[in-house]
Each structure stands twice: as structure tokens, then as C-alpha cells.
Homo-oligomer: A and B are copies of this chain.
Amino acid sequence: MTIYKAPLDDQRFALFDVLGAEAVLTRLQGGEGHTRDLLDAVLEEAARLSEQVLAPTNESGDAEGCRYDKETRTVATPKGFKEAFKAFAEGGWAGLTMPEKFGGQALPAVMGTATTELFQSGNLAWSLYPLLSEGACHAMELHGTEEQQHVYLKPIVEGRWTGTMCLTEPQAGSDLGLLKTRAEPAADGSYRITGTKIFISAGEHDLAENIVHLVLARLPDAPAGSRGISMFIVPKFKVNADGSPGERNAASAGAIEHKMGLHGCSTCVMNFDGAEGYLIGQPNKGLAAMFTMMNAARLAVGVQGLALSERAYQNSLNYARERLQGRALSGPRLPDKPADNLLVHPDVRRMLLTQRAFVEGSRLIVLYAALQTDLEARAADPAERQRAGELLAFLIPIAKGVVTELAQECTKEALQVYGGHGYIGENGMEQFVRDARIITLYEGTTGIQAADLLGRKILQLKGVGFRHFLDEIGAFCQAHGQDEALRPFVGPLAAAARQWGELTQQLAQRVQANPEELGAAANDYLYYSGYVTLAYFWARSVAAAEAGGRGAAFKQAKRDAATFYFARILPRIHAHKAGIEAGVATLPEIA
């Protein structure tokens, strides 16, 4: 059995001390009430739900998994999932960040991110059911008609129904332009959807009365490729005039996948056999509509990396404290015990500090990005809105691509601290590794994130968000240049940021000469960017901790982690610099 305690203290530090969220949020349109007191209370409620209701179902849900019934084509979720979903719905969490007109609470996106972390730490597999709903809600909010919103969105916000996103097909994964699912117009203005979708998270389950599928498909006269894709609402049960679920639609799960992890989440093959569907948004603009949700979806997957790493870290720290094995090299620390605990070994501390540096740094990346979502949506000044949107677009591939990769390392190190006991199912550590393995794959692989960062956010958009971010780092270094407490961090941060800019310039020129250089450098560029971003947030963390309001131990712990990060992790940029500079000639064709 693994432990989990919501890291409220560090969340508050990140939100309020480092990012100044209260000041930001209360000056946004409609944000007058979003005071620290309110946000604190929300965090505490979310923590309670996660610790008491979700966390206990994590390991049992993995062991039990979902069961698919061939006869009825239905899926039974593991024990406790229904009750947890009921508690989630009753607590109003399904509509936490949704507009009040749909029954939501209109809380800031950053609170959605913070509470999502807690729920995902509690039980990642379970948390995918509401998460997919959230994506579907946003799509309908942005692209649905008023009637569609009333019929399909509202019940999700109320926690009675859930939603899905049906994109992938066997031959169309990263390359959605290849998708084949067809939509034939019917006489009544609806469409008949026919095709097979795979990897549909929460495609079928027993948690809710109805499931609203958002399906990408082609109209009969659609252009080939990605410009000929439209989006359709396809409910599991067609909806009666009174809004209640009626007749079964011809949309059903044909199977569920046997996956490495996330056993509690039903990942479905969805068969649409002339299912009734309704066009949402413009014809042939479905991919663009889907992409409007991509920022939120990718950010949420980044948060999954944070959430798994946090819980894995808590357990490995706890184990290192309790496990007695070996002696300190400089002499026994617990002479009365048969051995010292694992914490006396510097290499064990290295594994723990690696996790800590990544966990707390990643938390700042995702919360900072989420805060840009709020600024983009509700800042009074249009220029500020635009800047936030540009920053957000730039940060998303880092928040998704890097945080999920760091989670691979965190969960691996957490397991490693356990030695052979980490390999045993009952100790729970191997589940974190298995669950984490999906997050660098779905919602765009790491390769896709890297290409998005370098190809789109840097080159296509001329690095506008990147420049905002470099400006911020520059301003921070300027402001703290004379600050004694920050001296060990400001210099290396400024140097790394400067080099980041230079490498970006050089790379842009090389890609201009040969577009293949983009693919050759993108992965290393993504990591390079991630490590500098973490350095910035660790420097800010030290500054915020120094600024007071916290005890000496807290301050020292932040400083220790930052010192560790700058000395032992940030130097990885040297290796990634070499990768950026190596060029496509070092990646020759393979026959």
C-alpha cells in the first residue's frame, strides 16, 4: 500500500508565494472573489476527496482493472470508482472551471490545474473519466450551438454524463490527416457516422447515465488530408426531448485494450455503425476545433506527470526513512539500530533530491502555464491577454513534453530507492512506472511536442512567446543581480538563458537551409528548454522563500533543492547543446 498526502503546503507556496496568484486572479474580469481564502478552501476540499476517496482505490483499481462484457458491450469499472465519481459530482468538481451559465463555478483555470494534480495523484486511471469530459466540455463551449450546449454540455458539467474525444484510428495516430471515419448526411439534418476509433479513453463505462462522444470524421465531399475533417457529437444514448437519455445509438465499445498500466481506465475500441451524430462547428474545420482544446489537454497530461511523480516521491522518501540497511560511510548514525536508514547514503539522497527538484519545479511550470490561461481569457488589457496566450502556446510543449519525460525518471528513481522491493506489485511503486509510461505517448508523443516547440512555437510563430519568457527571466536576473542569497543561481541562470537564445538563433538559420535539421534538433532543444525553464522556477522559488512568511527549515529545503538542481541537473544542458548542434548528418538515413 502506498501513502498519499496532498502537498498543500507546496501548492500554496507555488501559487501564492512564487506566482502571486491571488494578486493576479483578483484583478481579472470576474475574479474579484478569487481570494486566497476561497482558493485555499477549494484546495483543502480537493485534498480531502483525493486522500480519502480516490487514493484508496488506486492500487485496488489497478489490480482489478476494467471488465468488458461482450454481450452488452459495456464496461464495468473497478470497485469504488462509481462511488468516487458520485462524490466528485456532488462536490461540484465536474463544473469547477466551467461558466456559471452551464451550472459551473467559473473558478480560474489555475485552480482546475491545482485540483487536477490532487485528483490525479489520488488515482490517475480514475481521473481520466472526468478529464476527458473536461475536454469535451471545452469543445462544446467553444464550438457548440446554444442548443447543443444545453443538451450535451450541461449534463456533463452537472456530473451526470461524461464525454470523450474520438480522434485516433488504427492507421491514423499522430497523423490525423489519414483518418477514414465517414459522416453521411441524413434527411433530418443529422449525420450517420461510420468507422472505428481506437485508444478512446473513457469510451465506455458505468459511472454516468450517458456518454457524449466528440468524433472526428469526413463528410462525403471533404477534401483529402487534415483539411477535410469535421467534428460530430455522437451520444451513447440519443437524447429525449426532455433531455433524458433515450434510445441506444449505434456507437459502442468493441473491446477494451490490455495496457501496461492505467488498468482502471477503460481504453476502448469504439465502433460507429451508422451512429446518429450532429455536426459541431464548421464543416471541414474539425481538426482546428479539436486543436483549440489541445493546450488544456496537453497541460493536463503534463500535470499527470507531476501527480504521479509527487506520489511516487512521497513513498520513496518515506521508505528511505524507514528502511534500515547498511551504514553511513563515515560511521554509524543509528548505532543502537541494526543498521542506518537509507537516508545516510548520499546516492539515495541524490535520487530523492532529483525527484524533489523535478516535482516542485514541474508544479511551477504547470501552474504558471495555467495562470496564463486565466490571463489570456480574462485580463482587462488586450495586450496582456495576447502576451499570456503567446507565453502559454510556447510553454505547452515544455509542460507536456518535458514534465512527462521527467516523470519517467522520477518514478524510476522512486522505485529504485526500494531496491528489489520496488519490483513487487504489493509495494505499489511499479504501478507508478507503468501508469507513467503512457503520458509521453498520448496527446502527442514527446517527438510531437518537440516538433511543436521548435517548428511551430519558435520558427513558425517567430518565437514570440519565447521572447516574452526570456524577457521575464532577464527581468528576474536583473532584479536579483545584487541579491546575496540568489548569487549562486542568478549567474548560471542568466548564462543558460543567453545560450538558449543563441542556440535558437543558430538553429533557426540551419533549419532555413534544411528543414530536416528541425527534426534532428527538436528533442534536444525540448530538453534544453525544459532544464532552463526549471532553473528559472527554482531560482524564483529561492527568491520567494527568502522573501519571508516561511520558516527557516522550509527556506533551507528550497535552497537545498535549488542548489542540487543547479549543480547536478542543469549541467545536462551541455549534452543537449551537443545534440542541438550535431545536425542531421549524425542521423543518417536507415534503409
Contact = CB atoms under 8 A, between A and B. Distances in A.
> Taking the full assembly, how many copies of this chain does it contain?
2
Interface in A515-546: 515-516, 518-520, 522-524
7 contacts: A168-B420, A258-B425, A317-B590, A345-B447, A346-B519, A347-B520, A568-B586
Interface stretch (A45-53, A278-286, A433-441): A433-441
Give the secondary structure class of A's interface.
helix
A125 interface: no
Contacts of A430: 259-260, 434, 437
A451 B259 contact: no
A174 interface: yes
A515 B346 contact: no
A589 B175 contact: no
Most chain B Cβ neighbours within 10 Å, of A346, A434, A519: A346
A38 to B, nearest CB: 33
Interface in A464-507: none
A578 B586 contact: no
A588 B560 contact: yes
A325 interface: yes
A173 interface: yes
Most chain B Cβ neighbours within 10 Å, of A349, A425, A584, A587: A587
Interface residues of A, number: 86
B590 A349 contact: yes
A175 B327 CA distance: 9
Given A437-B430, A586-B563, A590-B317, A516 B346 contact: yes
A84 to B, nearest CB: 24
Contacts of A584: 346
Contacts of A564: 586-587
Most chain B Cβ neighbours within 10 Å, of A420, A424, A563: A420
B447 A259 contact: no
A175 B426 CA distance: 22
A178 interface: yes
Interface of A: 168, 171-175, 178, 199, 257-261, 317, 320, 324-326, 328-330, 338-339, 343, 345-350, 352-353, 408, 412, 415-416, 419-426, 430, 433-434, 437-438, 440-442, 445-447, 450-451, 514-516, 518-520, 522-524, 560, 563-564, 567-568, 571-572, 574-575, 577-579, 582, 584-590
Shortest 8 CB-CB contacts between residues of A and residues of B: A571-B578, A346-B519, A260-B430, A574-B574, A258-B425, A346-B520, A567-B582, A329-B515
Given A523-B347, A568-B578, A568-B582, A445 B419 contact: yes
A563 B171 CA distance: 34
Nearest to A590: B343
Contacts of A440: 416
Contact of A575 (B174, B348, B434, B571): B571
Given A347-B447, A571-B578, 13 more contacts: A175-B326, A178-B338, A259-B430, A317-B590, A320-B590, A329-B519, A346-B516, A347-B523, A412-B437, A416-B447, A420-B438, A420-B442, A568-B578
A408 B415 CA distance: 13
Nearest to A442: B420
Contacts of A519: 329, 345-347
Given A329-B518, A437-B430, A424 B579 contact: no
B441 A419 contact: yes
Contacts of A171: 324, 338
Contacts of A178: 324-325, 338-339
Most chain B Cβ neighbours within 10 Å, of A347, A352, A567, A577: A347
Nearest to A446: B416
A249 B412 CA distance: 40
A422 to B, nearest CB: 7
